[in-house]
Amino acid sequence: MEILGAGLSRTGTKSLTRALDILGFTTIHNDRKRLNPVIFGIDNTPNFRVYDDVDAVTDLPSAYFFRELLHAYPTAKAILTVRDTHSWLRSYRHHVRPQKIRRLSGVHVRIGNALGLKKQVRQWEIYRYKIAMRNLVYGSVYFHEYLHQKKYERHNASVIQEISEKRLLIMNIIDGDGWGKLCPFLGVDIPCVDFPSVK
């Protein structure tokens, strides 16, 4: 791993992932597998060298474990994607969609999981992951404006305080940061395409 996306969800992480892909980096966005032993408490002495085969990782859960991953990959650079806090709160409130969590945790999903039906097993895995991540990162499955704002601001402040300026790039993709900021930081040429905007 050469690049760690340290920004939380809904800060332009999909756009950053697509930009890194365009630049030729092999990137994983929102990895739901490699850190699961840590997330679910299976491995209490984890080895965070789980991204040796890729160039970059973005979004959760890797952003949450930025300290451990940058320690495991001491030459990696970090990119913190940010946006205005109130804009982020509006976006994340819509993203959480509690009715979807209720649907995923419904009786039919649990019965299907018990019977080994593939679709329900997959839905159950997604549900378990989302519940675990939301509790881990924000302290709640459901949206609570004060709590989420506090966690968002604290995460960004920690990243800025703990990662050296030479190793960290802060990007506000939503407000227009693009190739001109990203490419010099990575030491690559600016491509002849528009910077991606992925919702």
Please tell me what DSSP assigns to residue 171: E
- Domain assignment present for residue 197? The answer is no
Q: What is the mean pLDDT of the chain?
A: 91
Residue 195 belongs to some domain of the structure: no
Please tell me the predicted confidence (pLDDT) of residue 125: 77
Specify whether the CB–CB gap between 59 and 6 falls below 8 A: no
Whether 95 is in a domain gets the answer yes
Domain count, the chain: 1
What's the domain range around 173?
A: 3-186
Whether 191 is covered by a domain: the verdict is no
**Residue 177 domain-assigned?**
yes
Q: What is the pLDDT of residue 141?
A: 84
Which of the residues in the chain have pLDDT under 70? 98-121
**196 lies in a domain?**
no
* Residue pLDDT, tens place only, 137-156: 999 888 899 999 999 999 99
Domain with 142 in it: what CATH number? Answer: 3.40.50.300
- Asked if residue 199 is part of any domain, the answer here is no
* Residue the block writes with tokens 């991204």: 51
pLDDT digits (tens, 9 = 90+) for 84-113: 999 999 999 988 876 555 555 555 556 665
Q: What is the pTM of this model?
A: 0.90
Does residue 192 fall inside a structural domain?
Answer: no
Predicted local distance difference test score (pLDDT) of residue 109: 58
Burial of 62 (0-12, 13-18, 19+ CB in 10 A): buried
Query: Cα dist. 146→44, 85, 140 in Å?
Result: 31, 11, 12
